[in-house]
Structure formats: structure tokens, C-alpha cells
A and B are shown apart, each in its own frame.
Chain A
Amino acid sequence: MLLLLAWYVASSVGWLSAHTLASPQQVVTTAGELLRSGELQEAIGASASRVGLGLVFGVLAAVTAALITGLFKVGEDILDAPIQMLRTVPVVGLIPLLIIWFGIGDQPKLILIALGVFFPLYLNLFAGIRGTDPALIEAGRTLGLSRFGLVRHVVLPAAVPSGLVGLRYSIGVSWLILVFAETINATTGIGYLINEAREFFQTDTIVLCLVLYALLGLLADIIVRLLERGLLAWRPTFTGT
């Protein structure tokens, strides 16, 4: 709030030129204009669908991989080491390669986001699966649960809390990578708006886009929190003192 006020004062007094940073009123006016022209909705739609699709692919891949490595020793031996190796490669560094392989359309952007989403979720899910209390697995066995039953009723529910932590982290990463992905050869999306604005020193649009990124990220986080509330209702949580 204070920061917003300082920004407002600095802009109106003239300490901040519009070239450095547009005033808050200017940002709001621009938002109104872009909304009226429909550009803003289109950009948000394009960006959100990229993140959404990238998330879907990344989550599917991470869940599949974590199930294979988490549940089977053989899976771990074969798959985990290469994944850990790849994890250390900065995803953004893959952009040139992805462009060469997949061109400059939406495909490399989706792959980039999916890759960024994959690792945090995979690591947390794997740890969650392996962290299942052996006492509960034993109890499940004495209750006559089959191998599949154990996975479904014991191992997977036990992995959900850490899986959700991974998902939250993944969603944060997905927006971050979207920013990188969209500043390269995008013709739609919030990143495209930023790029275009940069050419014309439209700091108002740039600020607006940054605010949008923040809001969309927040929205995604709220969705995961709701998911947590539903899925982890069984867990009496420490909510801080």
C-alpha cells in the first residue's frame, strides 16, 4: 500500500517520468483501453492456455515418472538417475535447442513449461511415495490389501501432501517460464504485449502486464490451496502461532 502511494506521489509530482515508469492512473487507463479493444482478454487467454496445457503435460509426465520410480525398484534404477541429471540443466537454457527442433510456434513454449513443471512435482511426489510409513503398509498387508490396493489406499494418499507442495512449486515455475517463453517470438499472450510495449517505451503496458502475471500466479495458488483443503481435510494442520 505504501509502495503504491509512493509510486503515485512520485509520478504526480514529476520525479518519475513516464518513460521510466508510468503513473498508476496511466496503468489503469491503459488497462481500460486494452480491455475495450479486446487485446487484453486475448493475451490473457493465450497465456493462460499455454500455462494450462504445459501444466497438464508436465503434471501427467511427472506423475507417471514418479509412480514408476517410486513404486518399482527397477524403475528407480533405470529412470531416476537420468532425471536427476537433467534436473540440473537450467530449463531456460534449452530454448535455443527447442527452437531449432520445434520451430517458433506454441510447441516449444509448451514443452518448456511442461519441463519446468515436471521436476519440482516429480521430486516431491517421489519423496512422498518413498516416505510412506512402513507401519501403515504392513497394516495394509495384514488387512489383505493387494499390491494395487496398497498403492491406492496407502501409498498414494500418503504421497498427496508432498505432491501438492510440488504442484504449488511447479505452478510458480510455470508462470516464470511463461515469461521467458513469451518474450521469444510470440505473436500472442502477455509476453507479446510486453515485448511490443518495450519497442515503444510504453511503461504503462509493461507494468500492467507484470501486475497481470502476479494476479494470474496468485489465482493459480488459490486454486491449489482449495485443492489442499479438499484433499488434506484429514490432516490437522499446524497453522502457525
Chain B
Amino acid sequence: MATDIHRDLKPLGVADPDAHVGAVRVRDLNKSFGDHTVISHLDLDIEPGEFVVLLGASGCGKSTLLRILADLDRDISGSVVVADARAVSFQAPRLMPWKKVWRNVVLGLPGKPDRSRAEAALAEVSMTHRSDVWPKVLSGGEAQRVSLARALVREPDLLLLDEPFSALDALTRLTAQALVADLWALHQCAVLLVTHDVEESVKLADRVLVMKDGVIAHEARVDLPRPRDVTDPRFVALRAELLGHLGVGVH
């Protein structure tokens, strides 16, 4: 039930390499563009149903890692095993402008486009009323919701989110974050969310990984009860700690 997208497979030191595979298992992953190393000797495990946020400054390799997990980049060395049922939602919604919203949602699913299935997925993101319009008339937040519905209709074991809120205005972003939290609770899929927003990471994650210079430089578990309160002192402390690891001091 998992796809190997490794090149240069190295033995993992386990008798059965498929034993105890979670949603993601990465061993000794290396990726470089020419002479420039973006990811070096990276290990990563994501348990089924776990919400992991990958935090980092621009250019730290976090988006590259997500692209590798999405099987969009195979020019790597090391071993990457990811769940077969995975879905991606990008920073830009990337809807096909020539397909009505509902057809976008079910695009790529086997069989005939199933409108009722599309509408059920759109209902989860409160977008049923827009199912028959062209994507170009949607607002940024609406398009992002449709993009989420398109990912979730595939019933993924692993949902990859690449800065899905960064292009949204502040208010829309809060709503969208709450929506993702609800959908995750509903679908119980593993999530890897890439972002540079520390508050967002503490709000959503079971585990926050700070990526720096191609390696995971810091890891923090977030055990706060959900929904999380940004004014909770533990929340504030964790946020400060993570900011510190990102090299942004708060005084």
C-alpha cells in the first residue's frame, strides 16, 4: 500500500522494509540542484493520522521535500516510502480554469465524473453553491477551499499542503486554518503542512519540525488541547521557542 519513489535505494537495516510503514518514511534523503545541496541526509517518519507541520524560512528546502513526497521530483538519492493514497494542495489552488468547479473536484478519479461525489466533497468545505461556476470567478479563499475538496475527495492517507494559506488575507486565513483542522479530524489522514507561519504551526500540529539548511534542525511535540488558544501561556512559550530556532529572537 505504499509507493517507493527512491532512487539509489539503501538498505534500511530492517528485515522486511515494508514493516511498520506509516504514512511517510524517509531515510537518508539527499537532493541537490547542481552544486547546491537542498536536502542532506534527511530522515522523516509520519505516523498514520498524524498532523506534522514543516516550518522553515524561504529556501530551506521544505517545499522541495514536499514535492519529493508528492512524487513530483524523482531526481533524488536515498529512500522515500509514502502512502499510495496521497493528495496535494498547493499554495496556488491550481484549478483547471476550463473545467467547472465540480468537474475540477473529481478530475483524475477513475470512471465517469461523478457529480454527487463532487458535491459531497464540496459540502465539506461549504462550497456546494459554487459547484457550477468557472474557477476564475472564485475568490482566493473559495478557490483554496475547492482545492482542498479536490484533495480530500481522493480519501488520502496522506495529505500534503504546501503553504495553502499564505496567499489568503488574514481573516480568510483564520477560517481556512480552522477548516483544515476540522477536515483533518473528520478524515483522520496524516497531514504534512509546509509553512513559514509559526503561529499556524503551533495551532495545527501534533509535531512541528523546523527545517534549516536541508536538515531537520529541531522537533517539537505540541500536546496542547484542541482547539488551541493563542493566548495560552504554553502556546506563547512554544511559539517563542520555535521562533528562536528559526533564528528570529523575540524579546
Contact = CB atoms under 8 A, between A and B. Distances in A.
Contacts of A143: 87, 107-108, 150, 154
Contacts of B154: 143-144
B92 interface: yes
Contacts of A235: 97-98, 136
B72 A141 contact: yes
Given A139-B94, A142-B72, A154-B96, A233 B134 contact: yes
Nearest to A156: B98
Contacts of A233: 134
B108 A136 contact: no
Interface in B87-129: 87-88, 90, 92, 94, 96-99, 107-109
A153 B72 contact: no
A161 B104 CA distance: 19
Main secondary structure of the interface of A (DSSP, over half): helix
A154 B70 CA distance: 19
Nearest to B93: A139
Interface in B115-170: 134-137, 150, 154
B136 A135 contact: no
Contacts of B87: 142-143
A139 to B, nearest CB: 4
B92 A135 contact: yes
B96 A236 contact: no
Contacts of A149: 108
Given A138-B72, A153-B96, A234-B97, A145 B136 contact: no
A45 B203 CA distance: 73
Nearest to A158: B98
A236 B136 contact: yes
Interface in B22-40: none
B108 to A, nearest CB: 3
Nearest to B88: A142
Contact of A157 (B90, B98, B136): B98
Nearest to B106: A143
A140 interface: yes
Contacts of B97: 234-235
A236 to B, nearest CB: 5
A149 B134 CA distance: 20
B108 A144 contact: yes
A139 B98 contact: no
B163 to A, nearest CB: 14
14 contacts: A138-B72, A139-B88, A141-B71, A142-B72, A142-B87, A144-B109, A144-B154, A153-B99, A153-B107, A154-B96, A157-B98, A234-B134, A234-B136, A236-B136
